[in-house]
Amino acid sequence: MNYDFDFFFLLGSFPKLLEGLILTLKLTVASNLIGLSLGFVLALMAMSKTAFIRWPTALFIDFFRCTPALIQVIWFFYCVPIVFNVYMDGLTLGILAIGFNLASFNGEAYRASIQSIPREQTDASIALGLSPLQRNIWVVLPQAFRASLPVLVANGIGAFQQTALVAVVALQDLMYMGKMIATDTYRPIETFTLVALIYLAFSLPVSQLVEYFERRRKAAM
C-alpha cells in the first residue's frame, strides 16, 4: 500500500472535532435522561393489567426495538414535521429519536428487574399504606435501577455510539465533523481512526467502571 500516514495535520482540526464532540455529548446526556426515565414508565405500563395501556406500550417498545435506529432517526427528521405538523430543531429531533430508542431497550431491562423483586416487599409496602405511586418511586424504582444498572449503562454506551447516525441528517456531531475533515483533506484513514479513538476513550472507561462495581456488588452478596 503506497500511502503516507500523517496524523499531525489533525492538530489544526481539533476545534472542529471538539465542536462535534460537544454536540455528541449533548445528544448522549439528553437521550440517556429520556431513556432512563421513560424506560421505567414503559416498564410499568407494559406490566399493567389494563390491556388498553399494555398493548400500545408493547407496540411502542417493539417498534423501536425491531426497526433500525438509522430509519428511526431519518423518520423523526423528515416525517414528524409532516405527519404531526410539529417543527423542532434538529438537535431536539435527534434527542427524541435516540431517547425513544434507548427507552424501549431500557424498558425491557427495567421490566426484568421489577419481576425479580420479591412479592413480600410489595405486600409490605401495601401494609404500610403506601400508594401505588409511592411504591413505584420508593420501593420498586431503586431496586429495579440497581439490578438493571449494568444493562442500562451498556445501553447508554450504545446510545452514545448511535449518536453518529445523526450525521446522515447533517447534524454537526463528531461523526459529521470527521466526515467533513476527511472529505476536505482526503485523509479518511487518519481522520476516522481518530474519531473512533475518541468514541473508544469515552466508552471504555465507563464500561470498565461499571464492570468493577458489578464485581464488587456480587462479591459482597
On whether residue 26 sits in a domain, the answer given is yes
On whether residue 191 sits in a domain, the answer given is no
On whether residue 203 sits in a domain, the answer given is no
pLDDT of residue 197: 96
On whether residue 200 sits in a domain, the answer given is no
pLDDT of residue 210: 83
Task: pLDDT tens for the chain, 221 residues: list them.
Answer: 677 788 888 888 999 999 999 999 999 999 999 999 999 999 999 999 999 999 999 999 999 999 999 999 999 999 988 988 888 999 999 999 999 999 999 999 999 999 988 888 888 888 888 888 888 888 899 989 988 988 999 999 999 999 999 999 989 999 999 999 999 998 999 999 999 999 999 999 998 888 887 787 777 66
Contact 70, 113 (CB under 8 A): no
pLDDT of residue 126: 82
Which pTM was predicted? Answer: 0.91
Cα separation, 61 vs 45, in Å, equals 11
Number of domains in the chain: 1
Contact 173, 24 (CB under 8 A): yes
**How crowded is the C-beta side of 111, counted as CA atoms within 13 Å?**
20
CATH code, domain carrying 39 = 1.10.3720.10
pLDDT of residue 10: 87
Cα separation, 202 vs 221, in Å, equals 30
Supply 171's cell numbers.
Answer: 447534524
* Owning domain of residue 53: 22-174
On whether residue 16 sits in a domain, the answer given is no
Residue for grid cell 462495581: 213
pLDDT of residue 2: 73
112, amino acid identity:
A
Instruction: Please report the DSSP string for 177-209 in residue order.
Output: HHHHHHHHHT-HHHHHHHHHHHHHHHHHHHHHH
On whether residue 184 sits in a domain, the answer given is no
On whether residue 186 sits in a domain, the answer given is no
